[in-house]
Amino acid sequence: MSSAGTVSIHPILCRNGHIGCGKKSMISVIIICFLFSLYAIDMSCKLTLIVNRKIT
């Protein structure tokens, strides 16, 4: 899911601004990856809580 999102947004940013394309796209990719990692951490914490409840 994360890779598909970054791939689709990356070319759009490059087409819109040829100057500073690398910087803009890198920033957007970093932000997307950061948000996705936060979401993944949140989900993994929820999953571990569910698993712990089932085990105990």
pLDDT digits (tens, 9 = 90+) for 44-53: 888 888 888 8
The pLDDT tens digits of the residues spanning 6-16 come to 444 455 545 55
Residue 55: CB atoms within 10 A of its CB come to 6
> In the prediction, which pLDDT does 3 show?
47
Sign of the Cα pseudo-torsion (15, 16, 18, 22, in order)? negative
pLDDT digits (tens, 9 = 90+) for 17-38: 555 556 667 788 888 888 888 8
